[in-house]
A and B are shown apart, each in its own frame.
Chain A
Amino acid sequence: MKRVLRIAIKEFKDYFVSPIAYIVISIFLLVTGWFFFSTFFIFNQASMRGFFSLLPTIFSLVIPAVTMKLFSEEFNVGSYETLATLPVTSGEIVLVKYFAASAFIAVMLVPTVSYPLFISSMGHLDPGPVAGGYLGALLLGGAYASVGLFASSLTGNQIIAFIVGLITCFSLTVIDKMLVFFPGQFLSVIGYLGADYHFRNIARGIIDSRDILYFASLIFISLYGAWLAVDEK
């Protein structure tokens, strides 16, 4: 267990020794801050809704960039061989890298907590949807991180890992808005697949086990896929 924790700490630290972490966090804060506050005063409502409705799209761009290096870089440099021959199992490696990426995403969200603090000083902010929104953001970030990790486990090329992750996450974000293109009998199934749909439910402040289950199963399936891909080597 101690050993597993060591890799997790190392993976997490790795983000911050390279400029990637700072670039990704800056872009994330700039984009969300700009899009949120550029319309915030027009609506004239003390609400975080604008921010949370942006998140799925921005996450599907930013998170694959966070996760692309996790396995691809190791495969490319060959350091996966040194890691895999240390006394750890491939399942532990997958989990550890996943938790490091999720922790990074949580850290990325921390500065945005200043938004609700700032808004609540100007008007009455309902705490329910804000808490729900952050819980949803963590679940959504965790789910997209698992998808990105899976993409990274498939290839030794970071660009391919990024694009595969981006396409998958973006599809999950927009699929429930594309329902008109699908035949009627599949509508409910495809609607259920949309990550944005479940995220919106939670961000409204309604915590339903179906939504939690959706994210949990997406994470499980992606991590299992990554484990299969890595163990194959």
Chain B
Amino acid sequence: MIQVENLTKYYGDFLAVDRISFEISRGQIVGLLGPNGAGKTSTLRILTGYLSASSGAVTIGGFSIEDDPIKVKRMMGYLPESAPLYHGMLVYDYLLFVAGMRGISKDKALSRIRLLAKMCGLREIMSRSIGELSKGLKQRVGLAHAMMGDPEILVLDEPTSGLDPNQIIEIREIIKQIGKEKTVILSTHILSEAEATCDRVVIINKGKVVADDSADALKQSAGDQCYIHVSLLNSDYESAEGLLGSVPGVLSVERLPEKEGVSLRLLCDTDPDQRGPIYQKIKATDWTLVKFQRETKSLESIFRELTKEHLT
């Protein structure tokens, strides 16, 4: 459905998107993750035809975004970041306008608007001016705008930002439902959201794809390592680091801030389990062990690792 090849975007000298390539097939929900300024929004803007790429090719449903922008735009519904809409218009008028732009006849438009209003919870605000809506309400109007044409591809830039928790869950359900037949790309920096809704996660950092897999597979690939948190009293950082770092299965030791005593995070192999040898080492000293906890890697820690390495 969507093929992206060596997509590159420069803003002047600044390289925002650096040779990104991926492919998305029909019926997938793909989450685009990355820290601020990673190039998520730029990538989505190129996909929707708002920006033109410096180089590289985007093909959507068999059409090139450069050569057939109108055909591509017809297939696509797009919610830009923070839902910029016409502030002077009433919600109903705006949706009617979008329906017209999507080529929906007037009598069909009414039933479509009614359906979307129900889906996105817009019924009470239909006759209000968009300018006076709160951020979350605007976001819902933006979602209705994106879904108006019943598009094959839905591109959502941070769809749940500014929504209340109930609404977030509802929107996720809507996205999942749409994702059964349609293709959805959403960008987010909320990892649990990507985990909950997306079939596939693409992590980008500094304009490059650093990971591309399902959330489960990403966690599994990191499964042969884990973190062990150790907090000690009556000890000092140098000797604790020296002692625990000498355990063969401990790959690295990281100091954590602590008011009292010593707190360390150890990156360990999981096979064999390193908790035994570490405990034996501590037991041999006169330190007091106050915390000893194993933590499997979450998507958060994978994300942090993948995006932190590139910062240094």
Binding site for B on A (CB under 8 A): 2-3, 6-7, 10, 14, 17-18, 77-82, 84-89, 233
CB distance from B164 to the nearest CB of A (A): 23
The answer, yes or no, to whether B24 is at the interface (CB within 8 Å) is no
Selected from A7, A18, A78, A88, the residue in CB contact (under 8 A) with B80 is: A78
Q: How far is the CA of A10 from the CA of B101 in the complex (A)?
A: 11
User: Which single member of B49, B80, B102 contacts A82 (CB below 8 Å)?
Assistant: B80
Not counting A78-B82, A89-B70, a sample of 11 additional A-B residue pairs whose C-beta atoms are within 8 angstroms of each other reads A3-B100, A3-B103, A7-B101, A17-B89, A77-B84, A78-B84, A80-B84, A81-B80, A85-B49, A86-B102, A88-B101
What are 17 A-B contacts defined by CB distance under 8 Å?
A: A6-B97, A6-B100, A7-B101, A14-B86, A17-B88, A80-B84, A81-B50, A82-B78, A82-B83, A82-B84, A82-B145, A85-B49, A86-B98, A87-B70, A87-B74, A87-B102, A88-B70
- Max chain B C-beta neighbours (<10 A), residue from A2, A82, A88: A82
Min CB–CB distance A181 → chain B (angstroms): 39
- Asked if B82 contacts A85 (CB within 8 A), the reply is no
**How far is A78 from B49 in the complex, measured between Cα atoms in Å?**
15
Q: Does B248 contact A (CB under 8 A)?
A: no
Categorize the interface residue count of chain B: 20 to 34
Task: Give A10 to B78 CA distance when docked, in angstroms.
Answer: 20
CB distance from B86 to the nearest CB of A (A): 5
Q: What residue in chain B is nearest A6 (Cβ atoms)? A: B100
Interface check B87, CB cutoff 8 A? yes
Interfacial chain B residues near A14, Cβ < 8 Å? 86, 88-89
Check if A79 sits within 8 Å of B85, measured CB to CB: yes
Which 9 A-B pairs give the minimum distances between C-beta atoms? Answer: A78-B84, A6-B100, A87-B73, A81-B80, A85-B78, A79-B84, A85-B48, A86-B101, A87-B74
B229 on the A face (CB < 8 A): no
Number of A-B contacts (CB under 8 A): 65
Tell me the B64-122 residues at the A interface (CB within 8 Å): 69-70, 73-74, 76, 78, 80, 82-89, 97-98, 100-103
Say yes or no for B51: interface residue by CB 8 A criterion.
Answer: yes
A88-B102 Cα distance, complex, nearest whole Å:
10
In the complex, what's the smallest C-beta–C-beta distance from B75 to chain A, in angstroms?
A: 9
Q: Cβ of B26 < 8 Å from any Cβ of A?
A: no
Chain A residues, Cβ within 8 Å of B275:
none
CA of A85 to CA of B84, assembled, Å = 12
Most chain A Cβ neighbours within 10 Å, of B48, B80, B98: B80
Q: Kindly identify which residue among A3, A77, A233 contacts B101, using a CB–CB cutoff of 8 Å.
A: A3
SS class, residues of chain A in contact with chain B: helix
The listed residue (B45, B76, B101) touching A81 by CB distance below 8 A is: B45
CB <8 Å contact, A77 and B87:
yes
State in angstroms the CA–CA spacing of A6 and B101 once bound together. Answer: 7
Q: Mark B133-153, 1 if CB is under 8 A from A, else 0.
A: 000000000100100000000
A82 touches B101 (CB 8 A): no
Q: Is the CB of A85 within 8 A of B103?
A: no
A18 partner, pick from B76, B82, B88, B98, beta carbons under 8 A: B88
Assembly CA distance A2 to B99 (angstroms): 12
Cβ contacts under 8 Å, B70 to chain A: 87-89
Set of chain A residues within 8 Å of B74, measured between Cβ atoms? 87
Known: A3-B101, A6-B97. A85 touches B85 (CB 8 A): no
Enumerate chain A residues within 8 angstroms of B69, measured Cβ to Cβ: 89
Given A6-B100, A6-B101, check contact A85 B86 (CB 8 Å): no
Task: Give the Cβ gap from A65 to chain B, nearest Cβ, in Å.
Answer: 17
Residues of A within 8 A of B45 (CB): 81
- Bound-state Cα–Cα, A84 to B102, Å: 13
B101–A87 CB distance below 8 A:
yes
The answer to whether B98 and A85 touch across the interface, beta carbons within 8 angstroms, is no
Shortest distance from the beta carbon of A15 to any chain B beta carbon, whole Å = 10
Cβ–Cβ contact A81 & B84, under 8 A: yes
Q: Is the CB of A233 within 8 A of B51?
A: yes
Q: Is the CB of B73 within 8 A of A85?
A: yes
A7 surroundings in chain B (CB, below 8 A): 101
Provide the bound-state CA to CA distance between A163 and B276, in Å.
76
CB nearest neighbor in B for A84: B50
B73 contacts A86, C-beta separation under 8 Å: yes
Residues in chain A near residue B78, CB distance under 8 A: 82, 85
Contacts of A6 in B (CB 8 A): 97, 100-101
Kindly name the residue among B45, B49, B101 whose own CB sees the greatest number of chain A CB atoms within 10 A.
B101
A233: which B residues are within 8 A, CB to CB?
50-51
Q: Nearest CB to that of B75 among chain A residues?
A: A87
Determine the residue in chain A with the shortest Cβ distance to B87: A77
